[in-house]
Structure 1
Amino acid sequence: MKSFFILVFTTLSVVFIAQSQTMEDLVNDPDYIKSVTFNKEPEYMLPVFVIGEPVAIEFDDVIGDEADYYYQFEHYDYNWQPSRLFKNEFLDGIDDMRIFNYRNSFTTLQSYSHYTLSIPNRFTRGFKVSGNYMIHIYNDNRELVFSRKFMIMEEKAQVGVEIKRARDIKYINTQQRVQYTVDSQEINFINPADNLKTVIIQNSDIQTALYDIKPQFNLGNRQEYRYDTETSFWAGNEYLNFENRDFRSPNQNIDYVRKKDLYEAYLFVHKPRYGNEYTFFPDINGNYLVTTLDNEDNAVQAEYVNIHFSLLPTFNLPPDASIYVMGNYNAFQLQPENMMIYNEKRGMYEAKILLKQGFYNYRYTVVYDNGEQDPGFISGNLWQTENIYTVLAYYREPGGRYDRLIGQGAGSSENIRN
């Protein structure tokens, strides 16, 4: 009886831990955490690192009280379910350590503390295995503050990606489909239908990735994915953008700036682009770059500005839908701050978001109560839109306990074909 009780208690504990982990993963950033970035270029901020490559994450706390933050890492399967590995199997060194590297802002109206965590460091030397990871940031009370996903890759496979228009005449002008191959000279794929997993990501938005795509056929060890609907994405439209590097001269797409307790920057009023013809203008696919005109150290000298967004409602918004200002500035999260509220006096939807000086891409996205997103409702879906699609390939050997990330490939719809 005692053994049975221990077994039941252990099983329940494992279930409780797994459920707690899953719930923690769903926590959005609090309103005082801003500008969370990995050490990736702004044009391509998808956080995929080759194993052994340095990994760094930076963020600001706009309370600015030099709070203590602690970090932990967890390992996940390809579909972001906790893996079966113990921490000492995937982490070289220890975590649950305080972030010591932080600096306070100066010469800014909005005070903030800027934190930087770099791997390797004296406690955490690196990651032993490839796959999906999350970094969890905790406060002094052991409460989860925020999390970020990233991936560690071992280069064992070649992934070829090609972007084409949809075959279905119904979607030929609004969707883009991704065709790709996975091949390896080092791994002999055994039962690839079950053991080889792929994930397709549009731009840097991990939230809307496609999973569970199986190979259609193979040529030797080369796996072919030639689907139509299963690997299709709504094309969307080019991202909108603004730049506020300087307050003393005109800035891109900013109507005017006022100084109150903080700087208040008002963007030009936008009209929906749905139904308009495609117009090309370069963007960075939803990403952003902190930059100023005169400062030497943007990490602690760039100002935080309240950015005011206004959208003219020449459409009927469904009663079960809301509008969000979406972009990688907050990892495409749905937060109260970036949800637009209808201003009856002005007759338009508005949002005010506190953002660090820089160049930002964003779009207006309709989100339904069931979680479904429709970026084309306001901006339209145009097959000519330039998007970057990344395909990640994961493999689990027979009897393996985790999904190895063995390769990635990327393709741009700039050269889309029929």
Structure 2
Amino acid sequence: MKHSFIFFFIYLFSLLPSEAQTTYRTEIFSPKRIKTLQVKQPNKVFSTQVITLGSDEQIEISFDDLSSHFTRYAYNVIHCNTDWAASQLAQTEYMQGFQGLTIDDYANSFNTTVQYVNYRLLLPNEEIQLKVSGNYVVRVYDEEQPENAILTACFSVVDPQVSIRGEVKGNTLIDTYQQHQQVNFTVIKKNFPITFPQRDLKIRILQNDRHDLRISDIQPSTILNDRIIYENCRSLIFPAGNEYRRMEFLTHKYNGMHVESTSFFNPYYHVELSTDFPTATNSYAYDQDQNGRFYPACSRCDDADTESDYCIVHFSLDMPEIKGGNVFLNGDFVQNLFKAENEMAYNPDAQRYEKALLLKQGNYNYQYLWVKEGTGTGETGTIEGNFHETENEYTIYIYYCPPGARYDQLIGFQTLRSTQGQL
């Protein structure tokens, strides 16, 4: 029995080395079966994917399996460096508990035309505790096929040794109150020893949780005894973008926000959205968006996680075809990734881009991004436009990694909004 346990443990670890060179993202690998992946703090409609080390805070990972029958899913927890590749730490150094535990919190859908099973995992939990700060990825797989992940979910754990103060302004080194936004911030060291910040700190900044717009390798403009200042740095300038488009469908009985029609063609309900148009040449217009987020919701239901139905949602963007690249739907509902599942197809007869996606009833933010061939960066300027007035959310991650360190400590985290200051 003892030898069987040892071989089982070795087997679980054998799954990890092949992924050592992988750069992880929150991502679905079985898109026809797995839907509505969310990574957030529990009991919050919107939140960051960051919790504090040693606190009572948890991360909630939820998703739907449209196979309509229960599958026993298991998961591994992997510690990562700043760039989301597996770190050098052994499992016993970053967590207390075992790999390969199963997800036992699940529920069948109720009163929906599309049957599914909703799964939910909370971390840390009674079986797994996290020991160190940094980035973590949860790899979820069918227990009978451990070599094939169905999804990965990323989150971070901060050990707050420094504080961050910052601002976002439209007056930049590139232009003045036009198409860009400048991030300025100061790291207040407190009593944490940072002897050489140019070398020992790694800083990552995201706009609206988009990794394709991530800024890194930033050097300070001023270093003082108690603080490190990053101000008026050209590397901290972002394209301003535009407010996200919004749509909502909560019931089959009436049309929701930005919905043109709802109809049933067996076996799905189809939601036809109102036609969208480019806004790049328009004047800026404020709209209270949620910076790319979404959440399941349904009318007259008790539990949106299990009572929201799935519908085929039809998107259309009326504009001439753009050569030399592709147009993608973007937002948290597609994990801010550029994949075939959310690439728009051009219809030359209708002279518009089109895409149909199977989505869960709820409220959605989305935008159309142009990705030039040979790049992995989505551009807002071509379709949505760039306006310095846009309300964006910037997340700042401060990692400490001095020479000889075996992992990157996350010692500071802050969220800034371009119109409201820091959160």
TM-score of the superposed pair, with normalisation by structure 2: 0.89
Query: Displacement of 1:79 after TM fit?
Result: 2.0
Partners of 1:19 and 1:239 lie apart in 2 by 38
Equivalent residues of 1:25, 1:147 under 8 A apart: yes
Are the aligned partners of 2:22 and 2:86 in contact in 1 as well (CA < 8 Å)?
no
SS of 1:63's equivalent?
Answer: coil
2:213 is the counterpart of 1:208? yes
Q: 2:265 matched to 1:265? A: no
How far did 1:415 drift?
4.9
- 1:67 is matched with 71
Alignment check: 8 A CA contact 1:163 1:412 kept: yes
AA aligned opposite 1:377:
T
Preserved CA contact (<8 Å) 1:132 1:152: yes
Structure 2 letter corresponding to 1:69 = Y
| 2:334 aligned to which of 330, 334, 347 | 330
Q: Which has the higher contact order (CA 8 A, sep 6+)?
A: 1
Q: Which is richer in helix?
A: 1
2:141 corresponds to which residue?
138
- Which residue is equivalent to 2:29? 29
Map of 1:231 onto structure 2: 236
Question: Residue 25 of structure 1: CA displacement?
Answer: 3.2
Q: Which amino acid aligns with 2:237?
A: S
* SS of corresponding position for 1:88: helix
Tell me: CA distance 1:95–1:297, structure 2 relative to 1, closer, same or farther (3 Å): same
Whether contact under 8 Å (2:49, 2:59) holds in the other structure is: no
2: CA distance, partners of 1:20 / 1:92: 21
Shift of 1:17: 6.8
Task: Read off the aligned partner of 2:36 and give its amino acid letter.
Answer: S
Contact 1:197 1:214 in 2 (8 A): no
Describe the SS at the equivalent of 2:282: coil
In the alignment of these two chains, the number of paired residues is: 399
CA contact (8 A) 1:394 1:407 kept: yes
Inter-partner Cα distance in structure 2 for 1:323 and 1:99: 36
3-state DSSP of counterpart to 1:194: helix
- Whether the 8 Å CA contact 1:245–1:291 is kept in 2: the answer is yes
Query: Are positions 1:129 and 2:129 aligned together?
Result: no
SS in 1 for 2:383: helix
Other-structure match for 1:289: 295
Could you tell me which amino acid in structure 1 is paired with residue 151 of structure 2? F
1:249 to 245, 251, 254: 254
Q: Deviations over 1:139-171 (max 9, x none)?
A: 221111111211001121101121012434557
In 1, Cα distance between equivalents of 2:213 and 2:67:
31
Alignment correspondent of 1:6: none
After TM superposition, list the pairs within 5 Å mapping 1:65-144 onto structure 2: 65-124=69-128, 126-139=129-142, 140-142=144-146, 143-144=148-149
CA distance in 2, matches of 1:22, 1:171: 42
Q: What's the Cα RMSD here?
A: 2.1
Write the distance in 1 (CA, Å) between the matches of 2:49 and 2:268. Answer: 32
Aligned to 1:22, what secondary structure does the other structure show?
Answer: coil
Q: Do the aligned partners of residues 257 and 379 (structure 1) sit closer, same or farther apart at CA in structure 2, a change above 3 Å counting?
A: same
- Quote the residue 1:176 is aligned against: 181
Offset at residue 344 of structure 1 (A): 2.6
Partner Cα separation in structure 1 for residue 228 and residue 243 of structure 2: 32
Q: Who is 1:364 aligned against?
A: 368
Give every structure 1 segment of 4 or more consecutive aligned residues whose post-TM-superposition deviation is greater than 4 Å.
16-19, 41-44, 169-172
- Look up the match of 1:4: none
Per-residue CA deviations over 1:182-229 (Å, capped at 9, x if unaligned) read: 112130212111111211111222343111112222121300001332
Residue 172 of structure 2 corresponds to which residue in structure 1? Answer: 167
What secondary structure does 1:391 align onto? strand
Equivalent position amino acid for 1:246 in 2: T
Paired letter, 1:106: F
Unaligned regions of 5+ residues in structure 1, if any? 1-13
Unaligned ranges ≥5, structure 2: 1-12
Q: CA, structure 1 residues 373+157, in 2 after alignment: closer, same or farther (shift >3 Å)?
A: same
Relative distance call for 1:23 and 1:119 in structure 2 (3 A) is closer
SS in 2 for 1:269: coil
Distance in 1 between residues matched to 2:164 and 2:405, nearest whole Å: 22
Alignment deviations for residues 296-355 of structure 1 (CA, whole Å, 9 cap, x no partner): 1111111011110000114x5123x11111000121122222111112332211001111
CA distance in 2: counterparts of 1:307 and 1:39, whole angstroms: 24
The letter of the residue matching 1:141 is: Q
SS of residue in 2 equivalent to 1:193: helix
Residue 97 of structure 1 deviates from its aligned partner by: 1.4
Alpha-carbon spacing, 1:64–1:334, altered in 2? closer, same or farther (3 Å): farther
Matched residue SS, 1:73: strand
Q: Residues 399, 180 of structure 1: CA spacing in aligned structure 2 closer, same or farther, 3 A cutoff? A: same
* Contact 2:19/2:86, CA 8 A, preserved across alignment: no
Q: Distance in 2 between matches of 1:214 and 1:246?
A: 51
C-alpha separation between the residues in 1 aligned to 2:44 and 2:322?
Answer: 33
Q: CA deviation at 1:20?
A: 3.6
**Is residue 383 of structure 1 aligned with residue 388 of structure 2?**
yes
User: Could you tell me whether the CA contact under 8 Å between 1:156 and 1:184 is conserved in 2?
Assistant: yes
Q: Which moved more, 1:372-381 or 1:39-48?
A: 39-48
Report deviation, 1:176: 0.5
Taking structure 1 as the reference length, the TM-score comes to 0.90
